[in-house]
Structure 1
Amino acid sequence: MISRLAFGAAEVIDDPYPHFAAARAQSSVQWHEETGMWLAFGHAEANAVLRSRTLGRIWTPRWPEVAMPGFELIHRHSMLENEPPVHTRLRRLVAAAFARGHVERLRPRVAALAESLADQLADQFAEHDPGGPGVSGGSAGSGRSAGSGGPGVDLIAGFAEPLPVQVIAELLGIPESDRHLLRPWSNAIVKMYEYQVSPAQRAVAEAAASDFVAYLRELVGRRRRRPAADLISSLIAETDSAGGRLTEDELVTTCTLLLNAGHEASVNVVGNGVLALFGNPEQWQRLLAAEAAGRSLVESAVEELIRFDSPLQLFERTAISDTPIGDVTVRAGEKIAALLGSANRDPAVFDQPDQLDVGRADNPHLGFGAGIHFCVGAPLARVELQTSLRTLLRRFPALRPATDGLGRLRRSEFVIRGVTSLPVLLS
């Protein structure tokens, strides 16, 4: 079966799920002429792609004729782009550094940051309508109020984006004065994971990667001279059973991966998730009722929002040897991609998969991946996302979209799915 799915088509970017469903009904694995690889549409097949030990992440430059040394460096030494034994060594060192209590150390800080950002949002709402109705809830003693009116307040720029950027920056020990650099670098780099990339975008991505690498080398050097209570210092100090450490290139690459992946997905889950809740207002009301009754659905809701509109749509692997996936055999050297968004809507696994259900109990979504490349930062992401949703419910229970044209807010990329902005009001 040959797939005609056009990754760059506007209707696919706007809503890929009907297209996935139509393809999945024909065959769970299909050949994709446009990219020259197999696509796994079904949950079982995508899960097999992620877990198979005869499929690997094998880094090769997509544009070997174009010099991109910075971009190549942050991938060639990445645990995401390597297989055992290199991956095993890198992940063990990174996981051990994470295990030093960094996530738990940040839990109260995440809550404090979310509250501070909510205060700032409340101030912006109040500026739009100073005499409007007050915010329900609110932090103790904050005295903040908000109303509706005006063009709305951007939930992405004002809340969804700064929270995970600040959290991952604090985790790694990025000085506050430098944190404004991170998101532009990340945005430029992740555009390279799409399948339509212009020469201008390649040039911007290489400049961002080179600047990122230079910045992190200097920061790693400072932490070698003067360690601090941050993850970079823990990564420098961590040794394996043989006394081995991360090389400088591996340190820089690991920090880049954690900074990019550590906030990109969280930003997009919040954006996609709030957009989904706007489209299903009864689910927002269900969350509010559960909070009021003391039986929170926030944890299950976060998992459901990741499933319902996945921030990462595709994860590519290459066959090391002939590998059966579903009804096809992926020959050695061929590529196959797990379509995570399609897998997360597979009716063979999820009851009423196109329905948003914030109380969904049986939810084996693949939003964080699976197998050896399962997201190492998943625990921190869950803390951020649960805190974000709980804060929005408590502080802004009457949140609503400021425009009917929400589809126009979509990012123009297929692989990384998100919204560029999300203007909101209070009723």
Structure 2
Amino acid sequence: MSLISEKSLADLDVQECPVEYYRALQEQPIYFDERLGFYICSTYHLMRQILRDTDTFSSVGSQTLDDISPPPPEAAAIRAKAVPMVNTLVTNDPPSHTRIRTMMDDPFRPRSIDRMRDPIREIVTETIDGFVHAGKCDVVGEFAVPIPITVIADLLGVSRDDAPKFKAWSDAAVEPLGMMISDERQVVCAELFVEFQEYFIRELEERKVKPRDDLLTHVVQSVDEGGEPLNLPEMLSICSQILVAGNETTTNALAAGVQLLIENPAQLKQLVEGDDADYRRARTFANEVLRLESPVQGLFRIVARDTELNGVALPKGSRIMVRFAAANRDPEKYSAPDQLDVRRHNAGTHLGFGAGIHHCLGANLAREELTQAFHILVRRTRNLAFAEGNDFSHHPNMLLRGLRRLEVTFEAIS
């Protein structure tokens, strides 16, 4: 019996150490998991084909998993009190997706992120200042969480004092998608979802009366080609996706990156030896983290019409998971795919941000945060090592990958 018939992505041991499972999946690039009830794509070139064919592989409602993992009645009743979520970016197709993406692109273009470079550097420096002289820290709680939530708070134009709420809200948004939480936690997540909406409704209403130079004002003031603004459900959906993508995935990549640095001292040495003013190696390292530890392990598409892929018939209405993390270790695309290489020439081709029209809106921002954070951290510390007591466990989640905690020790340089 093969590994993929014995195990599934729902098994905690597979989620903790998925590499062997991904190798087995790649022997059957389009595989139907009878236990989970959906197909899985695991190779790079087939995945690119799926991601670029939105007519056949739809994103509309693709991440709504009530048919696979329905919420308990109490959680459903709480969410029914909220403003209904609508398809905007991640769960949308053209022409509606094109309309909203065009309205939201400008704040995330390279020129806009260039203007954020110095503020991001200051946030990273202040965060490291908070723990560096202690000679130890929990990377997740003291480094990986504060940086992106502070960046996103400043970008949205809300108080940094509110930033800790963002972590709770984004956790509540993604945990149900992972299909691994209890009914009791589902209820808590539903309550936090309503709390998130109430907060952002107030902030959005305030921007209508008192505009600022921030992302929420951009959301309120944006109009499409016909002069139509976003409605409230669209605005809240966008805020939710920005909140999750803006901190949850970056947090997980930052923590995973530090683990990879400690596990690969020769690569860490190359990163440190680079010119202080040259961020290229740090940028390549950031891409390698996204490739090897893909914070978003996979997302779904809905088959919009009967089709065939790699000799496998895919019926209309079926669900297929594009498993980014498996494709990012495809030996047909990457030499020595399981090895970290800060000089890898094609590191930036990873699918950690997706591809095609759904390529992550905040990819430029995330790369800038990761690059700055890793570049500065390795120049503020030396002899970075794991502290005693780490179990290196990850949050149970079928779609996302993130360490629970990571205790490290080091010597402060400055």
* TM-score strictly above 0.5: yes
* Equivalent residue, structure 2, for 1:32: 33
Contact 1:156–1:422 at 8 Å: present in 2 too?
yes
1:145-224 superposed matches below 5 A? 152-224=136-208
Q: 1:105 and 1:171 mapped to 2: Cα distance?
A: 11
> After superposition, what is the alpha-carbon deviation per residue over 1:76-122, rounded to whole angstroms, capped at 9, x for unaligned?
24321111222111111111354596423322110001111111112
Q: Taking structure 1 as reference, are residues 5 and 316 closer, same or farther at Cα in structure 2, changes over 3 Å only?
A: farther
Q: Which segments of 5 or more consecutive residues in structure 2 lack a partner in the other structure?
A: none
Pairwise CA RMSD? 2.2
Contact 1:70–1:210 at 8 Å: present in 2 too?
no
> After superposition, what is the alpha-carbon deviation per residue over 1:329-364, rounded to whole angstroms, capped at 9, x for unaligned?
211100100111110001011001011111101232
Contact 2:180–2:396 at 8 Å: present in 1 too?
no
Contact 1:71–1:209 at 8 Å: present in 2 too?
no
* Equivalent residue, structure 1, for 2:21: 19
User: Could you tell me which of 124, 141, 164 is aligned with 2:134?
Assistant: 124
1:306 counterpart = 2:306: no
1:239-278 superposed matches below 5 A? 239-278=223-262
* Equivalent residue, structure 2, for 1:377: 362
1:19-418 superposed matches below 5 A? 19-25=21-27, 27-53=28-54, 54-59=56-61, 60=64, 62=66, 63=70, 66-67=76-77, 69=79, 73=83, 75-99=85-109, 102-125=112-135, 152-291=136-275, 296-363=280-347, 364-403=349-388, 405-407=390-392, 409-418=393-402
Q: 1:100 and 1:360 mapped to 2: Cα distance?
A: 23
CA drift at 1:52: 1.6
Contact 2:394–2:403 at 8 Å: present in 1 too?
yes
Q: 2:279 and 2:78 mapped to 1: Cα distance?
A: 52
Contact 1:308–1:356 at 8 Å: present in 2 too?
yes
Contact 1:58–1:82 at 8 Å: present in 2 too?
yes
CA drift at 1:3: 4.5
Contact 1:41–1:338 at 8 Å: present in 2 too?
yes
Contact 1:272–1:419 at 8 Å: present in 2 too?
yes
Contact 1:164–1:384 at 8 Å: present in 2 too?
yes
Q: 2:51 and 2:110 mapped to 1: Cα distance?
A: 28
CA drift at 1:29: 0.9
CA drift at 1:44: 1.4
Contact 2:85–2:236 at 8 Å: present in 1 too?
no
Q: 1:360 and 1:284 mapped to 2: Cα distance?
A: 14
Contact 2:60–2:87 at 8 Å: present in 1 too?
no
Contact 1:106–1:167 at 8 Å: present in 2 too?
no
The AA in structure 1 aligned to 2:307 is: T
What percentage of residue pairs aligned between the two structures are identical? 29
The AA in structure 2 aligned to 1:46 is: M
Q: 1:358 and 1:403 mapped to 2: Cα distance?
A: 27
The AA in structure 2 aligned to 1:399 is: L
CA drift at 1:410: 2.1
Contact 1:74–1:256 at 8 Å: present in 2 too?
no
The AA in structure 2 aligned to 1:377 is: G
CA drift at 1:296: 4.6
CA drift at 1:418: 1.1
Contact 1:169–1:259 at 8 Å: present in 2 too?
no
Q: 1:227 and 1:293 mapped to 2: Cα distance?
A: 37
Q: Which deviates the most, 71-80 or 324-333?
A: 71-80
Q: 2:361 and 2:80 mapped to 1: Cα distance?
A: 23
Q: Which segments of 5 or more consecutive residues in structure 1 lack a partner in the other structure?
A: 126-151
Secondary structure of residue in 1 paired with 2:98: helix
The AA in structure 1 aligned to 2:11 is: A
Q: 2:105 and 2:366 mapped to 1: Cα distance?
A: 15
Q: 2:409 and 2:45 mapped to 1: Cα distance?
A: 41
Secondary structure of residue in 2 paired with 1:30: strand
Q: 1:3 and 1:223 mapped to 2: Cα distance?
A: 53
Contact 1:30–1:38 at 8 Å: present in 2 too?
yes
* Equivalent residue, structure 2, for 1:141: none
The AA in structure 2 aligned to 1:365 is: H
Q: 1:90 and 1:293 mapped to 2: Cα distance?
A: 37
Contact 1:313–1:417 at 8 Å: present in 2 too?
yes
> After superposition, what is the alpha-carbon deviation per residue over 1:24-68, rounded to whole angstroms, capped at 9, x for unaligned?
12x111101122110011111222222222111232560376335
The total of aligned residue pairs comes to: 399
Q: Taking structure 1 as reference, are residues 71 and 253 closer, same or farther at Cα in structure 2, changes over 3 Å only?
A: farther
Contact 1:75–1:81 at 8 Å: present in 2 too?
no
Secondary structure of residue in 2 paired with 1:84: coil
Q: Taking structure 1 as reference, are residues 71 and 314 closer, same or farther at Cα in structure 2, changes over 3 Å only?
A: farther
Q: 1:325 and 1:213 mapped to 2: Cα distance?
A: 40
> After superposition, what is the alpha-carbon deviation per residue over 1:197-247, rounded to whole angstroms, capped at 9, x for unaligned?
321122111111111011100100011000001011112112222111111
Q: 2:24 and 2:176 mapped to 1: Cα distance?
A: 28
* Equivalent residue, structure 2, for 1:10: 12
